[in-house]
Amino acid sequence: MNIEVCPSEDAPIELLLEADPSEKHIRDYVKRGVVYVAEEEGIVGVFVLLPTRPGTIELVNIAVTEARRGEGIGKRLLEAAKEAAEGYKRIEVGTGNSSTNQLSLYQKAGFRITGIDHDFFTIHYEETIWENGIWCRDMIRLTLEL
């Protein structure tokens, strides 16, 4: 699998929508961040890193194509994100309270829960989000010290 920087105008929006249902939010952060795509006979994954403050970079989106989930690609994308964050002190990531698989993935990779943005998804998203039978209301913030 080859992981490379992708120009923001070529970002795979449909795949990014798998992890974030707001095209408006996606188009905003791909302009301000760096998009990486993983290819293996076509795009199989994507992640976006966005510097937020001195010493900190945020993983604002990470997604794997539905057909390739469960193959460890997400784990490899997280490792690539850590490598791409060289020179930073920490990586932060936020995910929905209903995103049980993602919460597990991040914690297995060494991220620790550092906060909760209560009602983040009810305030910043027009549509109600349901995932795994759970109403997605709060953003769980996790941090990995590098």
Mean pLDDT of 98-106: 96
- In order, the DSSP letters of 73-123 are HHHHHHHHHHHHTTT-SEEEEEEETT-HHHHHHHHHTT-EEEEEETTHHHH
Q: What is the pTM of this model?
A: 0.94
CATH number of the domain at 7, please: 3.40.630.30
Report yes or no: 95 and 102 within 8 Å, Cβ to Cβ. yes
Question: What's residue 137's pLDDT?
Answer: 98
Question: What's residue 72's pLDDT?
Answer: 95
Number of compact structural domains in the chain = 1
Give the β-pairing of 129-131 and 112-117: unpaired
Which domain covers residue 100, as residue numbers? 2-145
Question: What's residue 114's pLDDT?
Answer: 98
116-137 confidence digits (pLDDT tens): 999 999 999 999 999 999 999 9
Question: What's residue 138's pLDDT?
Answer: 98
